[in-house]
C-alpha cells in the first residue's frame, strides 16, 4: 500500500495545524470575523475552513486513486482522457415538429456539435399520439413530436445516421422510439453495426423523480430490460440504457442522494439482466450513466469521482465482472436546469459555465450545456449557440483539458470524494435492506427522501441559508433584462395541426392487414413474456403509431397511478 504521507509527517502537520489554529487564526478572526451563515455543501456535509494532509492521513493512493484507465477508475476510465479525445458535445435539442428539429440539429452540427440529443414533447414521452385529446396544447412544446416512423424520417432527412450518434431522452416508450430510429436508419441503408447512440430507457427513476411513467414498476422494468437484451444482441454500438441521476437531482435531491439512488437503480438492472441468463461481461460495458452537474463546484467534481470508484467496486466485487470495460462508468452530464433563474437571466450563462467546468474536471464522456433562456422557453438558436460555445471555450482555451484529473491529491477534493462516497454507501445499504431498488420504489422510500431534500433546499433559500444571486441576494427590481431576452418564436397551434394531419394520412395509407397483424403479435408476445422488441420494430415498420403501440401494451400491463407517499 502506498500512503501519501507517513505517520511522522502527519504528526508534524497536526502539530503545525494546532499552532495555526491557536496563534494565527484568532488574530485574523479578530480583524475580519467569519460570515455568520453555515458552511456546508448542498448535501449538508459540514465543510471546514481548511484542509490539510491530516484530513486524508490514511489515504491509500493505489486503492483510492491509482492511475487513469486502471481500477478503481477514480481518475478516469481512459488512460489518455481528453489528451487523446475531447468529450462529445451533445446538445439537448428538439421542439415543434420534426421539420423544426431537423433544422435545429443541422444548425448545431454546422456550429461544431459532435453528437445529437433529442428532447421529446410530453405526448411523446407518455406514448400519446398528437390527435389524442390528452395531447391538446402540448404538441411540440417541451420537445419534438414523434408519433410515427415517418416523423423520425423527416427529422433525420439530410443527416447520415451511420455517421452520427444520437441520444434519445425517452423512457416508457423507449422501445418504440428506438424502433422508429432503427427503421429509419435501415431505410437510409445504414447497417445495424453502424447505428450508434443511447436510449435513456431508465424506468425506475421515472417513479422516483420525472414521473412520466406509464406502466406499473414490474412491467416497466421488464420492458426496459427487453430493450437492453435485444440491443446487446443486435446493435453493437448502441447504449441501451442511460441510468439517470439527472432527473433525481432536478427533482430536488442532494448530490449524495443522486449518486446513491442512481447507482442503486444500476444494481437493480444488472440483477434483472443476470436473472435472464445474461453474463455480466456480455452487457455491462453497454450500460451508461447520466449525471447532473449542479452549481456547487467541488461537490460535483467529488461526486463524479466517487461514482466511478463505487461502480467499479460494485461490478468487480458484487457481480464478479472480469473485463475492465465492465467496470467502467461511462457517463453523460448536463448542467443543472434547476439552477437557472428567470430573474437576471444573463447570469445563467455564468452558472452554466461553472457547472460545465465541474463536469469536465470530473471526467465526463459527453456534455450538454443549458441555454440561458430555458427558464422561459425552449432555447433559441442564439442561446443554444452560446451554450455550445461555452463548451468549446472550455475545451480549446481554458487549459482544463490539458491534464487528467488535475484536482487529484487536493486535500479538500480527496476528503470530499471519500465523504460523499461513504454517505452514498449508507443509502445503498438501506436500499439493500429494503430488498433492492425495485422494492424500495414500490415502498416510496427514495420518493420520500427526494421530497424531504427538496423541501429543505427551498426552506434554505427562503431563509437565506442558501444564496441565489438575483433571487434572494443582489436582487434587481428592474425587469428590462427579462424583456430583452430574445425568445424562440414558433406557432404551436400550426405545428399541432400539421402533426394531426400527417398522422391521419399515415393511418389512411398504410397496409391494414400488416398493421393489424403486427399489433396482434405484439400483444401475444407481451402476454407470453417474450421479448417485445422485434414485435415493436415490426409494428413501427407497419406504420403503427406511438399511441397504438403503447395502448396495445397498456392492455396487457395496465397503467400506474402513484399512491400517496406520506
pLDDT tens per residue, range 463-484: 998 999 999 999 987 666 677 8
Burial class (CB in 10 A: 0-12, 13-18, 19+), 438: buried
pLDDT tens per residue, range 301-352: 999 999 999 999 999 999 999 999 999 999 999 999 999 999 999 999 999 9
Q: What integer pLDDT is reported at residue 299 of this predicted model?
A: 97
pLDDT tens per residue, range 211-251: 999 999 999 999 999 999 999 999 999 999 999 999 999 99
Q: Helix H segments across 145-287?
A: 149-155, 174-187, 203-205, 217-234, 246-250, 255-275, 280-283
The enclosing H or E element of 147 equals: none
State the Cα–Cα distance between residues 91 and 277, nearest whole angstrom: 36
Residue 109 CB contacts under 8 Å (≥ 6 apart), including other chains: 116, 159, 164
The mean per-residue pLDDT over the stretch 105-111 comes to 95
Q: How many CB atoms lie within 10 A of CB 461?
A: 14
The mean per-residue pLDDT over the stretch 351-360 comes to 98
For residues 239 and 200, the answer to whether their CB atoms sit within 8 Å is no
Long-range contacts of 412-416 (CB under 8 A, 24+ apart): 412/51, 412/55, 412/298, 413/298, 413/301, 413/302, 413/305, 414/56, 414/59, 414/64, 415/51, 415/55, 415/56, 416/41, 416/45, 416/298, 416/299, 416/302
Predicted confidence (pLDDT) at residue 111 exceeds the cutoff of 90: yes
Beta-bridge partner residues of 238: 197
For residues 469 and 273, the answer to whether their CB atoms sit within 8 Å is no
C-alpha grid cell for residue 114?
459532435
pLDDT tens per residue, range 541-554: 999 999 999 999 99
Predicted confidence (pLDDT) at residue 1 exceeds the cutoff of 70: no
Q: Is the dihedral of CA 492, 494, 496, 499 positive or negative?
A: negative
Q: Which of 59-63, 270-274, 532-536 has the lowest mean pLDDT?
A: 59-63
Q: Percent of the chain scored above 90 by pLDDT?
A: 86
Q: How confident is the model at residue 507 (pLDDT cuts 50, 70, 90)?
A: very high
Q: Domains in the chain and their CATH numbers?
A: 7-62 (no CATH), 71-446 (3.20.20.240)
Beta-bridge partner residues of 90: 115
Q: Give CA angle at 168 (162, 169), nearest 5°.
A: 170
Predicted confidence (pLDDT) at residue 557 exceeds the cutoff of 90: yes
pTM passes above 0.75: yes
State the Cα–Cα distance between residues 316 and 328, nearest whole angstrom: 10
Give Cα 368 to chain centroid, integer Å: 10
Of residues 209, 229, 206, 228, the one with CA closest to residue 217? 206
DSSP-assigned letters across all residues of 295-333: S-HHHHHHHHHHHHHHHHHIIIIIS---SGGGG--EEEE
What average pLDDT is seen over the chain?
95
Amino acid at each position: 500500500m502506498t500512503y501519501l504521507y507517513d505517520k511522522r509527517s502527519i504528526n508534524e502537520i497536526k502539530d503545525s495545524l494546532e499552532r495555526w489554529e491557536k496563534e494565527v487564526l484568532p488574530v485574523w478572526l479578530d480583524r475580519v470575523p467569519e460570515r455568520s451563515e453555515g458552511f456546508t455543501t448542498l448535501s449538508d456535509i459540514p465543510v471546514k475552513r481548511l484542509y490539510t494532509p491530516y484530513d486524508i492521513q490514511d489515504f491509500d493512493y493505489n486503492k483510492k486513486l491509482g492511475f487513469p484507465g486502471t481500477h478503481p477508475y477514480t481518475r478516469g476510465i481512459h488512460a489518455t482522457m481528453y489528451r487523446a479525445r475531447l468529450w462529445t458535445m451533445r446538445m439537448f435539442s428538439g421542439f415543434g415538429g420534426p421539420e423544426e428539429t431537423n433544422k435545429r440539429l443541422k444548425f448545431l452540427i454546422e456550429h461544431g456539435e459532435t453528437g445529437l440529443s433529442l428532447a421529446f414533447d410530453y405526448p411523446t414521452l407518455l406514448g400519446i399520439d398528437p390527435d389524442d385529446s390528452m395531447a391538446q396544447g402540448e404538441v411540440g412544446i417541451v420537445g419534438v413530436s414523434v408519433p410515427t416512423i415517418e416523423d423520425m424520417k423527416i427529422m433525420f432527412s439530410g443527416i447520415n445516421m451511420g455517421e452520427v450518434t444520437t441520444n434519445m431522452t425517452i423512457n416508457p416508450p423507449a422501445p418504440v422510439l428506438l424502433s422508429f430510429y432503427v427503421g429509419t436508419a435501415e431505410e437510409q441503408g445504414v447497417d445495424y453495426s453502424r447505428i450508434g447512440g443511447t436510449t435513456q430507457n431508465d424506468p425506475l427513476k421515472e417513479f422516483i423523480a420525472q414521473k412520466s411513467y406509464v406502466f406499473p414498476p414490474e412491467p416497466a422494468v421488464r420492458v426496459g430490460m427487453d430493450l437492453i437484451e435485444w440491443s446487446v444482441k443486435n446493435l453493437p454500438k448502441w447504449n441501451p440504457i442511460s441510468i439517470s441521476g439527472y432527473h433525481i437531482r432536478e427533482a430536488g435531491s442532494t448530490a449524495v442522494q443522486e449518486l446513491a439512488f442512481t447507482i442503486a437503480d444500476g444494481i437493480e438492472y444488472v440483477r434483472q439482466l443476470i436473472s435472464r441468463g445474461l453474463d455480466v461481461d456480455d452487457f455491462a460495458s453497454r450500460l451508461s450513466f447520466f449525471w447532473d452537474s449542479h452549481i456547487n463546484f467541488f461537490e460535483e467534481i467529488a461526486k463524479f469521482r466517487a461514482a466511478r470508484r463505487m461502480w467499479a467496486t460494485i461490478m468487480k466485487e458484487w457481480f464478479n465482472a472480469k473485463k475492465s470495460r465492465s467496470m467502467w462508468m461511462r457517463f453523460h452530464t448536463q448542467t443543472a436546469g434547476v439552477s437557472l433563474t428567470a430573474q437576471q437571466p444573463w447570469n445563467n450563462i455564468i452558472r452554466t459555465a461553472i457547472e460545465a467546468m465541474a463536469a469536465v474536471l470530473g471526467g465526463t464522456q459527453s456534455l450538454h450545456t443549458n441555454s440561458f433562456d430555458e427558464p422561459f422557453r425552449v432555447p433559441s438558436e442564439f442561446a443554444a449557440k452560446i451554450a455550445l460555445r461555452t463548451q468549446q471555450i472550455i475545451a480549446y482555451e481554458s487549459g482544463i483539458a490539458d491534464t487528467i484529473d488535475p484536482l487529484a491529491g487536493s486535500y479538500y477534493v480527496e476528503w470530499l470524494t471519500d465523504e460523499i462516497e461513504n454517505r452514498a454507501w449508507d443509502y445503498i445499504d438501506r436500499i439493500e435492506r429494503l430488498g433492492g431498488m425495485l422494492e424500495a420504489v414500490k415502498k416510496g422510500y427514495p420518493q420520500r427522501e427526494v421530497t424531504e431534500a427538496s423541501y429543505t433546499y427551498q426552506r434554505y433559500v427562503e431563509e437565506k441559508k442558501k444564496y441565489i444571486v438575483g433571487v434572494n441576494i443582489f436582487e434587481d427590481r428592474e425587469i428590462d433584462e427579462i424583456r430583452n431576452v430574445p425568445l424562440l418564436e414558433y406557432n404551436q397551434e400550426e405545428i399541432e395541426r400539421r402533426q394531426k394531419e400527417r398522422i391521419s394520412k399515415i393511418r389512411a395509407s398504410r397496409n391494414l392487414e400488416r398493421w393489424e397483424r403486427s399489433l396482434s403479435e405484439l400483444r401475444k408476445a407481451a402476454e407470453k413474456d417474450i421479448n417485445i422488441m422485434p414485435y415493436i420494430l415490426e409494428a413501427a415498420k407497419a406504420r403503427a403509431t406511438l399511441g397504438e403501440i403503447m395502448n396495445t401494451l397498456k392492455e396487457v400491463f395496465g397503467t400506474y397511478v402513484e399512491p400517496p407517499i406520506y
